[in-house]
Amino acid sequence: MTVLNLLSLLGIFGLCLVAWLFSENRRVFPWRVVIAGILLQLVLGFLVFVLPGTRDALQVFTNLLNVVFDAADNGARFVFGRNIVPPAPPAKPDVSLGYIFAFRALPTVIFFSGLMALLYNLGVIQVVTNLFAKIFYRVMRLSGAEALSGAANIFVGIEAAIVVKPFLPRMTRSELCAILACCFGTAASSTLAIYVSFLKDAFPNILGHLVSASIMAIPACFVISKILVPETEVPVTAGGIPQEETTTRRKSAAYNDDDVVALGKEPALADQRVYLDKEPEQIQVKQQLQELLPDAEIEMDETDLLHKGRSTVTPPLEPEPPQEMVAGEPMERMSPLDAAIVGALDGVKMAVSIAAVLILILGLVYLINQFFTALAALPAPLGDVFKVVNLQNILGALFLPLTFLTGVSLNWEELWQSSVIIGRRLFETAIPPYQALGSAAALPEAQRVLSDRAVVIISYALSGFAHLASVGIFVGGTIALIPSRRKDISELGWKALFAGTLATMMIAAVSGVFYDPSNPSILGERKAPEAQVSPAPIAAPITSPTPGSAVSPSPASVTSPVPAPLPVPAAPVAAPAKPSPKPAANTAPKASPSPAKSPAKP
C-alpha cells in the first residue's frame, strides 16, 4: 500500500469525523451503521478494483453497456443526420460540426429513460432493487423503508421516495434525512450517459465505474446521514422491508331467513349478520348457510340468538384480480412497448429540463465571474487580489480539505486542480465539471496535470447530484409527497445536501484505497489521446470560464488558459498561493455547455 492509498483509507474516517462535528446529537453515534457501512464500501471497492473475476466482469459489463450508447447514437443519427451525430469510426461525416451537446448528449437521456422504463416493466429493476435492499437492511440494520428507498436510488432520483410513499408521513427525522441524502449522493441512470460521453475516450471503463459508484454511494450516504442525524426513535418499518401488497376483498353477506330457506337465491351483499326470527331454526339455518358458503366460518352468538336470533357469517377472503401497485396505489398495467414509449417521453421532459438548468446556471456563473473581473480592474492592491478570485477558485479553496482527504495527490498543482473541478459541481451541477475532467484527461502526457489516479478519484467524487440545483427538486418533490412534514423536510434538505457531498467524497476515497497504477484494467484500453482532442466530447475547454467558450472543441481552446473574450481566466491562473498558472487554468473553467443534472434525479 502506497502513501496515497493509506491517505485515502484514513480519509474515510476523516470524513466521518467531519460529519460528527456537524451532528445534531454528538452523544449518539451509530456505530453499527458506520462500521458496517464502511466495510460494505470496502468490500465493493475490492470487488471492483482488485478481485480479478469481478473486475473482468465489470469490464465486460461496460462493453455491453457501450453498445447501448451506440444504439442511442444510431437513433439520434437518423433524426439529426450523420453530420451532427457522426457515425462510428472508421466512417466519417461529410462535414464535421464538432461536439454539439444538445444533439449528442441529450438524446442518450431520452433513450436511457425509455430503456429503464422497459426494464422496470419487465421486472428486472425490481429484482436488483430488492436484492440490494436486503443487503443494506441485513448488514447495516436500517429500517426496511429507508433500505428499499436507498436501493431504488441506484436507478432513479426523487422517484425512489415514491416507492415508500405510504410510510413517509410516519418516518423519523433520521429516516427522512437518509432518504434525501441518497437522492443527493447518487446519480440517475439516465444522466450517467452524459458523463460517459465526456470521459469514455480517456477512461474507457468509466461507465462500469459510475454504476459501481452509484451502488457504493448508498451505504456511504447512510453512514454520513446517520452521523449527522442519529436515529433516536423506533422506525415503523424497523421489522423488515415493506412489500407491495395485493389487494383482497372479503365478501360480506346479510341473509334473512327467507333467503336462507330459499336455497336458490343469491345472498345479498351487505353486513355480516344473518337475522333469524325463530330460535329453533338456528341449527337448520346454520346447515343451510354451510352448504351455501362451505369455506365460510359461521359463528352463533348465543346472547344474540336469545334476544334477536342472529348469527354472524365471516366469509373467506377472496383475492381480487392481480393489480399492479405503485406507491400503494393501483395502476393499470402497461405493455412493455407502452412503458418504453412513456419512459422516452419522460426522457424528453428530462432533457429539456437539463438544457434549461444549464442555460440558467451557467449564465449566472458567468455574471458572477464578470463581477469579479470588474473588481480586478480596480487599482492595486485591491485589484490584484481579485485577479486571482473568481467563483471557481473560491469553491476550489472550500473543497480543498475534503479533496485532500480523498488521497487524490500530494502534488500541489494536481491537488488544486482536482479541488477546483470537484468544487464546481456545487454551483454548476456535475456536467460542466465532468466535461472539464474529460478535457484535462485528454491532454498529451507532457501537458497533463491530472494523473490517471486523479481522473478515477474525481470521477467517483462527481458522481452524485450534490449541487444547489437539486435542492429545490428533491426537497420540493418530497414535500409534495408529504405536505404534513414540510417543516422537517425543509430543515433536513441542507443537511442532506451536505451528507450527499461527504458521501461522494467518501466513495472517492474508497476508490483511492484500491487504485493501483500498475493495473491497466481499471481505466480500460484507451485509444490514442491525440486523436481524441478534436471534435470529441472531451475536447470542451476546461479552462474557459464562459459557457460559450466551452462549445469550441478545438485543441487550442483546451490548452489555452485564457480565452480571448474573458479577462477572468487570468484570475484563476494565479490560483491560491504559489502554484504556477497551471492549476488556475483548470480552475477557472467556467461553464462548458455541458448538461446540468436532470431534474428528474435531478
Q: Delimit the domains of the chain by residue range.
A: 248-319
Helix axes 173-185, 468-481, angle to 10 degrees: 140
Specify whether the CB–CB gap between 390 and 372 falls below 8 A: yes
Omega prior to 30 cis, within 30 of 0 = no
The one-letter code for the residue type at 500 is G
Within 122-271, where are the H helices? 124-140, 144-152, 159-162, 173-185, 189-199, 206-228, 257-261
Q: At what angle do helices 336-376 and 189-199 cross, to 10 degrees?
A: 60
CA nearest to 190, candidates 299, 97, 69: 69
Compute the average pLDDT of residues 95-122.
80
pTM of the model: 0.69
Question: Residue-wise over 357-395: b if at least 16 C-beta within 10 A, else e?
Answer: bbeebbeebbebbbebbebbeeeeeeeeebbbbbbbbbb
Which amino acid is it at 445? E
**Vertex 552, ends 523 and 444: CA angle to 5°?**
40
- pLDDT band for position 279 (50/70/90)? very low
More confident residue, 383 or 597: 383
Most confident of 183-187, 284-288, 409-413, 518-522: 409-413
Q: Can you give the C-alpha Rg of the chain in angstroms?
A: 30
- Strands (E) across 447-563 are located at none
**E strand or H helix that includes residue 330:** strand 329-331
Element (H, E) at 452: helix 452-461
Supply 3's cell numbers: 502513501
CA distance linking residue 511 with residue 500, whole number of Å:
17
Q: What is the pLDDT of residue 5?
A: 94
How far, CA to CA in Å, does 498 sit from each of 495, 503, 565?
A: 5, 9, 35
Whole-angstrom Cα distance, residue 385 to residue 13? Answer: 36
Task: Give me the mean pLDDT over the 75-95 stretch.
Answer: 81
Q: Is the pLDDT higher at 467 or at 581? A: 467
Chain mean position to CA 589: 25
H-type helices in 3-80, by residue range?
A: 3-21, 31-49, 52-80
Dist CA 272 CA 314 (whole Å): 7
In this prediction, residue 351 has a pLDDT band, given cuts at 50, 70 and 90, of confident
Residue type at position 553: P
Confidence of residue 243 (pLDDT cuts 50, 70, 90): low
Q: Give me 262's grid cell.
A: 330459499
Q: Is the pLDDT of residue 549 over 70?
A: no
Give the residue-averaged pLDDT of 353-363. Answer: 84
Whole-number pLDDT of residue 250: 39
Please, are residues 526 and 201 in contact by the beta-carbon 8 Å criterion?
Answer: yes
Most confident of 36-45, 82-91, 332-341: 36-45
Set of cell numbers at residue 357: 438548468
Q: What is the pLDDT at residue 151?
A: 85
- 3-class state of residue 172 by DSSP: coil
